[in-house]
Chain A
Amino acid sequence: MIPTLSHYLAVAALLFALGLFTVLTRRNAVAVLMGVELMLNGSNVNLVAFNKFVVGGLTGQAFTLFVVVLAAAEAAVGLAIVLSIFHTFKTIDVRAADLMRE
């Protein structure tokens, strides 16, 4: 019994759900970004698995590469924003950055 498509889909779904849970519960902005990375990884596993088992070719893998590159860019800019928030508010609690709410 080699791993089938369903195995990978189950792992990716769990990864995505745990990432969603992290994004929803954390107050620490860095931890929220970690959750976003988990969700991106879950969708990437789905892309590569469908590419191998259903579609064939290399389109899914090329797509995954671009997603990885964009995730790296997103992490760099996101963490720069987190540092900027830390310099401004002296905390990275996501509830503290509400200056524009009033």
Chain B
Amino acid sequence: MRTPKKLIAWTVGSAAVIGAVGVLSARLSPALAAGGRRPIAGPFTLADGIFYAVAALTIGGAAAVALSRNILYSALGLLASLLGVAGLYAFLSADFIAVAQVMIYIGGVLVLILFAVMLTNRIGEVNISNASMGWASAGLLSAVMLAMILVVAFEVPWPVRSTGSAPTTAPIGHALLQQWLLPFELASLILLATLIGAIIIARKEIRAD
């Protein structure tokens, strides 16, 4: 049951997102050509198409999280966004991080969030509230933040090096157990503390009478 007003808002919102992505990708070519860091070479290949699809999945999911009125749709948008980020990791030849993203974020964090959504709303209610406030000021602040990040990202001449792609799982395993051994063990300690803390905070008080 969607009123035309909502439909118009959604259409305008998705058009704005698509337009932003289009403007960004159009902005990319002159920036790169002017910087002369990497020549614009070659036609639009299949890999480019997959990259843009993954990026659109990421941004679209994030937009659904930010703009949807229903928190369950927000959770589904988060699922799409996290999947897209996993795809970006795969594109960056970070295979282990991609798999960890799928297992930890989608298998763990998202399930936790869905549990929290279900436990903190009355399921019978038709409209699970996800109201928002301060759209104008928050939008302005986010836009300024985005502009600042993009200016830095495009204007600074990053010393880009030529890269190859190699499997990273075995090197990461070695690095975790040699170079990063102390942070690795500390992470396990933090996870244990989190486990105990979450249980103690979330349980109901049971008083022994």
Interchain CB contact under 8 A, B149 and A65: no
Closest chain-A Cβ to B64's Cβ sits at a distance in Å of: 9
- A residues engaging B (CB < 8 A)? 1-11, 13-22, 24-31, 33-35, 37-38, 41, 44-45, 48-54, 56, 58, 61-62, 64-66, 68-73, 75-77, 79-84, 86-87, 92
Interchain CB contact under 8 A, B113 and A30: yes
Closest chain-B Cβ to A96's Cβ sits at a distance in Å of: 12
Interchain CB contact under 8 A, B116 and A27: no
A38, B40: Cα distance in complex, Å: 31
Describe B's contact surface by its main secondary structure: helix
Given contacts A18-B59, A22-B66, contact A79 B115 (CB under 8 A): yes
B187: nearest residue on chain A (CB-CB)?
A: A69
A71, B104: Cα distance in complex, Å: 9
Given contacts A4-B38, A68-B101, contact A34 B78 (CB under 8 A): yes
Interchain CB contact under 8 A, A62 and B92: no
Which of B62, B82, B119 is close to A19, meaning CB atoms less than 8 Å apart? Answer: B62
Interchain CB contact under 8 A, A24 and B142: yes
What number of A-B contacts does a CB cutoff of 8 Å give? 248
Which of B81, B108, B176 is close to A38, meaning CB atoms less than 8 Å apart? Answer: B81
Given contacts A13-B146, A30-B120, contact A35 B172 (CB under 8 A): no
B190: nearest residue on chain A (CB-CB)?
A: A73
Interchain CB contact under 8 A, B48 and A54: no
Q: How many of B's residues come within 8 Å of A, CB to CB? A: 95
- B residues engaging A (CB < 8 A)? 20-21, 24-25, 28, 31-32, 38, 40-45, 47-48, 51, 55, 58-59, 62-63, 65-66, 71, 74-75, 78, 81-82, 85, 88-89, 91-94, 96-97, 100-101, 104-105, 108-109, 112-113, 115-117, 119-120, 129-135, 137-139, 141-143, 145-146, 149-150, 153-154, 158-161, 163, 168, 171-172, 175-176, 179-180, 183, 187, 190-191, 194-195, 197-199, 201-202, 204
Q: List 6 A–B pairs whose Cβ atoms lie within 8 Å, in order of A's numbering.
A: A1-B44, A1-B48, A5-B158, A9-B150, A54-B159, A76-B194
Given contacts A33-B113, A38-B65, A69-B191, contact A28 B129 (CB under 8 A): yes
Closest chain-A Cβ to B24's Cβ sits at a distance in Å of: 5
A66, B100: Cα distance in complex, Å: 11
A50: which B residues are within 8 A, CB to CB?
158
Closest chain-B Cβ to A83's Cβ sits at a distance in Å of: 5
Which of B132, B143, B176 is close to A27, meaning CB atoms less than 8 Å apart? Answer: B132
A33: which B residues are within 8 A, CB to CB?
113, 116
B197: nearest residue on chain A (CB-CB)?
A: A77
Interchain CB contact under 8 A, B138 and A21: yes
Closest chain-A Cβ to B41's Cβ sits at a distance in Å of: 6
